[in-house]
Amino acid sequence: MRSLIGVKVKGFLETSFLDWPGKVSSVLFFPGCNLRCPFCHNWRLFVEPEIFLDVPLDYIFFKMESLRDWIDGVTLSGGEPTLQRGLMRFIQELKRRSFQVKLDTNGTNPQILRTLIEKELIDFVAMDVKAPLDPFHYKKATGVNVDVKKIKESIEILKEGKIPYLFRMTFVPGLHTEEDLLQLASQLKGKGRLVLQNFEPTNAFDPSLRAQNPFPEKRLKELQNLVDELMGFTSLKDS
């Protein structure tokens, strides 16, 4: 593990049925993020990561080896994993042990994304797209100025289709409108599938959002079907 000195893991979920479509995975949570999304529920990973103990890498690999017959792979989440020093070495160690790897990313580091794909170090990508692809909407949804060109570059890299991927959007009442959603779906048409995630207000980074009710599940499903139809996919309930 000497070559992995400097890699920080702040959370380890041994098994998850939710983080990789159709697979069971272990989930690792890395600290740090370059966005400040007001609806983020993992914000302590970038505001005060020191409150979480580092999960020993030896322990992580030991547990994953013991679960090898039960898990299909490993999900790298956060925070934003592509900010992690030593990420490539860490994934190389996972691949050396024959684990499949899913990357959760916000798409702000397209060159790292391309390198990981070209080196065949990742097997699936879930990219969070925060808002319609323009600076105004993206700043509103992320709390910082974002180079939207980099977001679009990451989208185009995934569109090349070298590995499976999907796009996700957390739909936040009061922050996003249905028009925003349809605009983003139009922008992503022909580039992949957009999966809607409901907003969880309980621990939102922006305290003012903690009193905001999420969308009713029925309406969210209706919007998902509308997005699927617009983008040319069969509805998720039928897939």
Give the residue from 88, 135, 125 showing the smallest Cα distance to 105. 125
Q: What is the rounded (10 degree) CA torsion for 36, 182, 22, 72?
A: -30
Q: What is the pLDDT of residue 3?
A: 57
Q: Report pTM.
A: 0.93
Q: Which residues lie closer than 8 Å to 234 by C-beta, 6 or more apart?
A: 228
Residue 189 identity (one-letter amino acid): K
d(CA 45, CA 34): 11
Element of type H or E holding 148: helix 148-159
Compute the Cα dihedral for 97, 14, 89, 4 and give only its sign.
negative
Partners of residue 104 on adjacent β-strands = 126
**Per-residue tokens: 93:** 């160690």
Compute φ and ψ for 82, nearest 5 degrees: -70, -10
Give the residue from 227, 173, 176 showing the smallest Cα distance to 200. 173
Q: What is the pLDDT of residue 234?
A: 65
**Per-residue tokens: 135:** 């600076």
d(CA 235, CA 224): 7
Report the chain (239 residues): mean pLDDT per 10 consecutive residues: 74 95 96 96 91 93 94 95 93 95 98 97 98 97 97 97 96 92 95 93 93 91 94 61
Between the alpha carbon of residue 213 and those of residues 36, 43, 44, 156, 226, the distances in Å are: 20, 19, 22, 34, 22
Given a contact cutoff of 8 angstroms between Cβ atoms, the answer to whether 73 and 18 are in contact is no
- Hey, what domains does the chain have and what are their CATH numbers? 2-238 (3.20.20.70)
